[in-house]
Structure 1
Amino acid sequence: MLIDFFLHLKASKLPVSTKEFLVLLEALQEHVVEHSLDDFYVLSRATLIKDETHFDKFDRAFGEYFKGVEALPGMDVLIPEDWLRQAMKKHLTDAERAKLEKYGWDKLMETLKERLAEQTERHAGGNKWIGTGGTSPFGHGGTHPEGIRFGGRSEHRSAVKVWAKREFRNLDDDIELGTRNIKIALRRLRHFARQGAAEELDLEGTIAGTARNAGWLDLRMRPERHNAVKVLLFLDVGGSMDDHIRVCEELFSACRSEFKHLEYYYFHNFVYEWAWQDNTRRHTERILMLDLMHKYGNDYKLIFVGDATMSPYEITQPGGSIEYNNREAGAVWLRRLTECWPHAIWLNPEPEHFWQYRQSISMVHNLMGNRMFPLTLDGLERGMRLLSK
């Protein structure tokens, strides 16, 4: 089994060697870690991968090979704690779920303050306190249609605000595209200029010069052409955008190769006071939006990439961000950005026919002046056509 795993890593174009694989086998024989899949993942990555830039590719290859496997063969498996917690969740009918009261932003925040002041112990499965499962609007893993979620992930994605530590990873700009279609679509947005020291062969000039020179080769060169369009890219990461990592990495990779003048920044869910360029340092190396607005001229083309799927409060309310208490509403910042860079579009990886059923998408669509396009080849064509005007 482990030999097949090693060959799978090689097929995934990871630089693993036989020597490193033997080190892994020796570590297993010496019982360096417990025989669980999680322990094996940590050990195999530590022994086989020597460059942290390959961590993401290793994670994808590991997940593909061990998909559906809970533990290494021959070892007993304990029931995961999160399975037990999910089992406590109350399963409500549609009618029962419809009866649950929606508080609204102000009442929800006021009630949360009261709960924090009163609660002294852990709760699970209830309808009032902060806890797990149940129908309370505060906690994690419950079924309330609106509320504040503390930590973890939820299949409902209906939380108004989420307090949790999140770790996002940077998008990989080295993804090999299955087709060249995305690049071709992006080429609608281009303005060629000749600049820099790089040169290319001037074939017509060489032929003409050679003819005038009685057949003696007269080699003519000219400066290489570059796409002179300036692009400012804002990428939504984390949360519901995890479902769209592959297509966003393909877009990001294509943009890096097509646009000579490309600047990119990350945000989570919606744009507020700051953005960042490295997700691993997003809490310590934030960049103020006002600084970006002063740094880049209005000749830049502004492209947002995000599913616009969030609580409406994140767009309309100060303090609505699920990461911190923002002083101004996200809608205010989006208007500022589109006024600073009027040539702007929003690319949405969610299917276009879903947009009408999600309030937040409709709100962002309107704030963008209907300049939202699906992240498909047709959507890219339409978006690039609009930006090129």
Structure 2
Amino acid sequence: MMNITEADDGLELKASPHGVTVAGDPNGIRIGGESMHRTAMSVAGERKFRDFRRDNKLDTRQFQMAFRTLRQLSVQIDSSERELDIDATIHDTCENGGLLKMQTRPPRKNNVKVLLLMDSGGSMEYYSNLCSMLFQAATKSNYFKELHTYYFHNSIGSNLYTEPRLWYVDAVSTEWILENFDSSYKVIIVSDAAMNPNELHEKQFVWGTGTYMRSSYEWLLLFRKQYPYLIWLNPETIPEKASYWTQTQVELADIFQMFHLSANGLEAGMKCLLVRQ
């Protein structure tokens, strides 16, 4: 049986198996429970985010193979050292009637710098294993000169986080990120782009200063402007027509180069990162 109580401020609290909601609140405040329609602007109670760093039994090889596409951005360096040129060795061996003919080349230096921004918690919990595969493939890859990973919930705001738990102690100013990672970085955003439309467009109020900061939409536009090499990986398929529940997905897909979070989608995204947008 559903229990209904009256709050001090006149708002009606309704309990259900999916948590307690505040009736009449246009922003939808949820107290505990699980997300049903992604309308909650705030969630009271303990947040539980799954750590993408956990080992799992899923094979990451396909993702690692996709990351190999970025090898094309490595450069040869002047050095007395030599390394085996596999492609040239195979070609010349075939031309030599099958007799092995070794070929070497100067070593290559990886100069690819990547900024990986991952959505954590909420609706992305359904794709935690997939995100874990991507994270492990990226961290184990030797195709990057630099790899920096930060986390956010639903959309990028005034802070990003060094851990998927999104605790205040792990917060890093988004403005600091933009100032310290220049336009040479390749940016990969991983998110389903699904959220309350107000959460995307409303400016964020800072209680400590009593001022409003940029909306999440404005932060995303700053990233789009600063990084000419930026892709968005989405585990969900973008619908052809927007509904209330999918309008942020459609809107963001019109702004960003969005690819499906799969081995094929990642490979296509990597090829897109080779070309300045």
Alpha carbons 1:231, 1:300 under 8 Å: kept: yes
Which residue is equivalent to 2:65? 184
Deviation at 1:141, TM superposition (A): 5.8
Which residue among 115, 131, 138 is the counterpart of 1:255? 138
Once the two structures are superposed, residues 187-235 of structure 1 have per-residue CA deviations (whole angstroms, 9 ceiling, x without a partner) of: 222312357x9x775579xxxxxxxxxxxxxxx9987545321111100
**One-letter amino acid of the structure 2 residue matched with residue 171 of structure 1:** F
Separation of aligned partners in 2, 1:173 and 1:302: 23
Which residue among 120, 124, 128 is the counterpart of 1:237? 120
Deviation at 1:157, TM superposition (A): 2.3
Higher Cα Rg: structure 1 or 2?
1
**One-letter amino acid of the structure 2 residue matched with residue 384 of structure 1:** M
Unpaired stretches in structure 1, ≥5 consecutive residues: 1-86, 91-114, 120-127, 205-219
What is the percentage of aligned positions where both structures have the same residue?
28
Deviation at 1:150, TM superposition (A): 3.0
Unpaired stretches in structure 2, ≥5 consecutive residues: 87-102
Aligned length: 249
Alpha carbons 1:276, 1:286 under 8 Å: kept: yes
Which residue is equivalent to 1:167? 48
Q: How does 1:147-296 map to 2 (within 5 A)?
A: 147-164=27-44, 165-172=46-53, 174-175=55-56, 177-178=58-59, 180-190=61-71, 191-193=73-75, 201-202=83-84, 225-258=108-141, 259-260=143-144, 261-280=146-165, 282-296=167-181
Quickly say closer, same or farther: Cα 1:312–1:295, change in 2 above 3 A.
same
Once the two structures are superposed, residues 276-301 of structure 1 have per-residue CA deviations (whole angstroms, 9 ceiling, x without a partner) of: 11234621231111111111121101
Separation of aligned partners in 1, 2:217 and 2:189: 14
Quickly say closer, same or farther: Cα 1:229–1:185, change in 2 above 3 A.
same
Structure (1/2) with the larger helix percentage:
1
| TM-score (norm. length: structure 2) | 0.75
Which range is displaced more, 237-246 or 283-292?
283-292
Which residue is equivalent to 1:381? 267
Deviation at 1:268, TM superposition (A): 0.4
SS in 2 for 1:118: coil
**One-letter amino acid of the structure 1 residue matched with residue 175 of structure 2:** L
Once the two structures are superposed, residues 252-294 of structure 1 have per-residue CA deviations (whole angstroms, 9 ceiling, x without a partner) of: 1111122431111000000011101123462123111111111
Alpha carbons 2:230, 2:273 under 8 Å: kept: yes
Deviation at 1:353, TM superposition (A): 4.5
Deviation at 1:180, TM superposition (A): 2.3
Is the aligned partner of 1:304 residue 2:185? no
Is the aligned partner of 1:362 residue 2:250? yes
Question: What root-mean-square deviation, in Å, do the aligned CA atoms of Structure 1 and Structure 2 show?
Answer: 3.7
Structure (1/2) with the larger strand percentage:
2
Alpha carbons 2:35, 2:122 under 8 Å: kept: no
| TM-score (norm. length: structure 1) | 0.55
Is the aligned partner of 1:130 residue 2:21? no
Is the aligned partner of 1:118 residue 2:9? yes
